[in-house]
Amino acid sequence: MSVNSSIGNVVANFQVVGKFVSAIPYGSGHINDTWCAVFDQSGSHVRFILQRINHIVFKNPCELMENIQRVTSHLAAQIEGQPEAKRRVLTLILALDGRPWYRDAEGNYWRAYRFIENARSFDAVESTEQAFQAAKAFGRFQQMLATLPSPRLHDTIPDFHNTHRRFATLEEAIAADVANRAVLAKSEIDFALSRKSISTVLLDANLPERVTHNDTKFNNVLLDDETGEAICVIDLDTVMPGLSLYDFGDMVRTTTSPAFEDERDLSRVTMQFPMFEALVRGYLSSARGFLTKAEKQYLAVSGKLITFEQGIRSLTDYLAGDVYYKVSREGHNLDRCRTQFKLVESIELQEEEMDRLVHSLEP
Ligand code: ADP
Ligand code: GN1
Ligand code: MG
């Protein structure tokens, strides 16, 4: 069956008006599969996002979708009446049976969203204004979700940012060496082992649990084509209880370096201080009101923590034989690990200056 006809069969199970025209694979995510589907609605072409949830990674897709439904409804209620409110939050399209997901005959879980037009995501940052915008949007996202009514959201991936646990998993992967690759990653393994102490950095900091996004990659926010405003936070699979600093840290990881995450020319990978400053200013502009003093104190260090965490996750997957992240070339996960470790080094060289900046903005 062609991609078009099989996607056509799937979208027929959602409450989409019109006639299915076509679908193309979309985006550059490492976990789920995304398509952009086009429908003919009385002569106009209307786009939708269709996603197949990776149920190996997300073991309980129904709970995950319950989280997303609660989160998107809460956000929508808060911004109701604002200009362009429908472009500022993801809108789920329900399945024919009224559920927010559809399960196909093979056991795959699918969801559909309205397409947010005239906006796009970027895999690498291009300006300090973009960095400011992304951080402001993620801060506002956390701020709006601070009032999410109970119960607590489901943990869609338990211990997702438990870097201490991630490090233990790396140590197990090194010992098992199931793909016989440890020899090829010797210097990366040495780098990780020599910096084990980074993995415990926030454990004793006594920080409050919040509702956080947990995957604040720069390409998980859509920027408006005309104004450049970060109009909508997307990719909500990992929205769950977490620390605000996991989100800020992942912004530092993905928004301060001009290079792609899998760049092979490591000379291009560097923590650009003006980008960091824009992130701090953008984040504080929306999050200042709810952040505690302790959270603000750890802003600078959170970038190193999450970058290190991502490096050890890619290294673990490389050693395990590429079982988690999608890869498209030999050594892809090792390349990803190298960029992260290079960025950790670059952050280390500027750590004091980063801390000074945060303190000057938040004495
Ligand atoms: P992944 O988990 O695979 O990263 P995302 O949910 O981030 O998947 O979606 C992949 C890409 O699809 C995004 O980077 C974005 O460009 C695009 N996208 C996702 N949702 C929408 C939407 N509702 N409207 C427009 N584009 C979207
Ligand atoms: C994955 O799906 P995507 O590409 O947005 C991963 C993140 C990583 C990121 C690295 C559920 O995110 O944690 O930081 O790749 N998501 C999951 O690019 O593991
Ligand atoms: Mg994404």
> What does the pLDDT look like over 9-24, one tens digit per residue?
999 999 999 999 999 9
Pair of tokens at residue 101: 């997901």
Q: Place 220 in a pLDDT band, splitting at 50, 70 and 90.
A: very high
pLDDT of residue 3: 64
Give me the mean pLDDT over the 72-91 stretch.
97
For ligand 2, atom 8, the nearest C-alpha belongs to: 215
Give me the mean pLDDT over the 30-56 stretch.
97
Give me the mean pLDDT over the 165-176 stretch.
98
More confident site: 202 or 223 = 223
- Residue 49 Cβ < 6 Å to ligand 1: yes
Distance between CA 56 and CA 60 in Å, rounded? 9
Report the mean per-residue pLDDT for the chain.
96
- Residue 57 Cβ < 6 Å to ligand 1: no
Distance between CA 185 and CA 341 in Å, rounded? 12
Give me the mean pLDDT over the 69-89 stretch.
97
Q: Place 28 in a pLDDT band, splitting at 50, 70 and 90.
A: confident
Give me the mean pLDDT over the 178-196 stretch.
98
Helix (H, G, I), strand (E, B) or coil at 103: strand
Q: Which atom of ligand 1 is nearest to the CA of 237?
A: 2
Give me the mean pLDDT over the 109-135 stretch.
97
pTM of the model: 0.97
Ramachandran area for residue 68 (φ above 0: left; ψ -120 to 50: alpha; else beta): alpha
Measured in Å, residue 119 CA sits from the centre of ligand 3 at 14
For ligand 1, atom 8, the nearest C-alpha belongs to: 29
> Please, how many CA atoms are within 13 Å of residue 295, restricted to the half-sphere of its CB?
22
Q: Which atom of ligand 1 is nearest to the CA of 236?
A: 6
Measured in Å, residue 183 CA sits from the centre of ligand 3 at 32
pLDDT of residue 167: 98
Distance between CA 13 and CA 104 in Å, rounded? 9
Q: Place 214 in a pLDDT band, splitting at 50, 70 and 90.
A: very high
Q: Residue 51 corresponds to which amino acid?
A: Q
Testing ligand 1's pocket by substitution, the residue of 49, 50, 87 carrying the most ligand atoms inside 8 A of its CB is 49
CB of 55 closer than 8 Å to CB of 109? yes
CA dihedral (212, 217, 222, 223) positive or negative: positive
Distance between CA 133 and CA 283 in Å, rounded? 9
